[in-house]
């Protein structure tokens, strides 16, 4: 497949044919593999330096697994993940550990992802110790600097996570991920667990940090309203595969894939006149099991526009835009 988003020289991360299968085994003494959960099933995309790529899809579609497989927290079953041209899937041991400094993750649940027994200073400072970047006074100063950077009072270092609100805890999580000066961050539903009033503050913080530190993001979310503001381009995922990928304006104005159209129809429009006319596309049935996805197009069991060919052939991943303004889609309608 050709590059799916512009000039090679701008590319920070290149993912090609990424597969992440989890084996299902049977037997107590001798374990025998009987099937695979195809959590991610052959996806390809690039992320450019300084860009935010939104990755959207329903729960269980494989988006978080994609993030973890990119960071090599899961070792991919197949495919390639290149970071600044270096193949991550072949890295091991100390080389991989050093590489991980450049790629960090922000987790969905700020309540669960912070150790309740550690002070904020220890939580944020831990990566500095692990990667031997700072200790003693230097570490303490760096922690205070990081807390300031994410909008927290630097004198909170001796407090514990339970003393903070949800939004503040997410700020602590962000400070921890920034401690090692990463270039790339996988933000795995970083605002989903927060109150709506706090979500915008965290999105603004991530945008400011991106502008000031030159960060690149993969921003994972389960609905399109959450990624609209922050993403430069958006990829839509369904049952382990990408179905559409384009810039954020084109995706909202001219969605091509029937699944994207259904997801968008659920997004409220702030204009009351247009909102009144919004037609909701309700998808029938449940998402099929990733252990046994449908033949051909895996969306066909729920697609309102399904045709005979959809059961026979897996639709090709095609650029329906131009080389400058790419619009990738996998659907036999195009
Ligand atoms: Fe629907 Fe067929 Fe397109 Fe799949 S390929 S999205 S089933 S029309």
Give the pLDDT means over successive 10-residue stretches in the chain (334 positions): 50 96 86 88 95 94 96 96 96 92 88 88 90 86 94 93 92 95 95 88 95 96 87 96 96 94 84 75 86 94 95 96 94 96
Tell which atom from ligand 1 comes closest to the C-alpha of 257. Answer: 6
Element (H, E) at 273: helix 272-277
Q: Is 311 in the pocket of ligand 1 (CB under 6 A)?
A: no
Q: Is 332 in the pocket of ligand 1 (CB under 6 A)?
A: yes
Q: Into how many domains does the chain fold?
A: 1
Q: Is 302 in the pocket of ligand 1 (CB under 6 A)?
A: no
Q: What is the pLDDT of residue 131?
A: 85
50: in domain: yes
Q: What is the pLDDT of residue 258?
A: 96
Q: What is the pLDDT of residue 142?
A: 93
CA 105 from chain center: how many Å?
Answer: 9
Give the domain extent around 130: 8-330
- State the Cα–Cα distance between residues 332 and 23, nearest whole angstrom: 31
Q: How many CA atoms lie within 13 A of 250 on its CB side?
A: 20
Q: What percent of the chain has pLDDT over 70?
A: 97
Q: What is the pLDDT of residue 5?
A: 46
Q: From the CA of 178, how far away is ligand 1's center (Å)?
A: 41
Question: What own/partner pairs with CB < 8 Å and gap ≥ 24 does 243-247 have?
Answer: 243/299, 243/329, 243/330, 243/331, 244/327, 244/328, 244/329, 244/330, 245/4, 245/5, 245/45, 245/326, 245/327, 245/328, 245/329, 246/321, 246/325, 246/326, 246/327, 246/328, 247/325
Q: Is 333 in the pocket of ligand 1 (CB under 6 A)?
A: yes
3: in domain: no
Q: From the CA of 265, how far away is ligand 1's center (Å)?
A: 17
- State the Cα–Cα distance between residues 14 and 150, nearest whole angstrom: 29
Q: Is 262 in the pocket of ligand 1 (CB under 6 A)?
A: no
139: in domain: yes
Find, among 106, 87, 85, 268, the residue nearest to 193 by Cα: 106
82: in domain: yes
2: in domain: no
300: in domain: yes
Please, what's the b/e burial string for 191-212 (b: 16 or more CB within 10 A of its CB; e: otherwise)?
bebbeeebbebbbebbeebbee
For position 54, which CATH number holds?
Answer: 3.40.50.300
Q: Is 306 in the pocket of ligand 1 (CB under 6 A)?
A: yes
């Amino acid at each position: 497949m050709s590059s799916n988003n512009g000039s090679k020289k701008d590319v920070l991360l290149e993912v090609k044919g990424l597969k992440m299968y989890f084996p299902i085994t049977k037997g107590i003494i001798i374990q025998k593999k009987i099937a695979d959960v195809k959590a991610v099933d052959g996806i390809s995309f690039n992320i450019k330096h300084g860009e935010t790529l939104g990755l959207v899809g329903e729960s269980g579609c494989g988006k978080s697994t994609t993030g973890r497989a990119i960071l090599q927290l899961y070792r991919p079953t197949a495919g390639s993940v290149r970071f600044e041209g270096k193949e991550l899937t072949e890295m091991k041991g100390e080389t991989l550990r050093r590489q991980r400094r450049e790629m960090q993750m922000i987790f969905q649940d700020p309540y669960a992802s912070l150790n309740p027994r550690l002070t904020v200073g220890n939580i944020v400072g831990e990566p500095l110790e692990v990667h031997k970047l700072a200790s003693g006074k230097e570490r303490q100063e760096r922690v205070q600097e990081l807390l300031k950077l994410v909008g927290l009072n630097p004198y909170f270092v001796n407090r514990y996570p339970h003393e903070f609100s949800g939004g503040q805890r997410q700020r602590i999580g962000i400070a921890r991920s920034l401690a090692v000066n990463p270039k790339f961050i996988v933000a795995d539903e970083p605002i989903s667990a927060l109150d709506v009033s706090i979500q915008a503050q965290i999105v603004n913080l991530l945008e400011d940090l991106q502008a000031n530190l030159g960060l690149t993001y993969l921003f994972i979310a389960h609905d399109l309203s959450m990624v609209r503001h922050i993403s430069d381009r958006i990829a839509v995922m369904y049952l382990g595969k990408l179905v559409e990928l384009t810039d954020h304006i084109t995706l909202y104005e001219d969605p091509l894939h029937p699944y994207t159209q259904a997801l968008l129809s659920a997004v409220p429009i702030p204009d009351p006149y247009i909102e009144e006319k919004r037609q909701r596309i309700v998808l029938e049935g449940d998402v099929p099991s990733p252990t046994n996805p449908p033949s051909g197009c895996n969306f066909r069991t729920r697609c309102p526009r399904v045709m005979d060919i959809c059961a026979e052939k897996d639709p090709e991943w095609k650029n329906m835009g131009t080389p400058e303004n790419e619009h990738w889609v996998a659907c036999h309608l195009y």
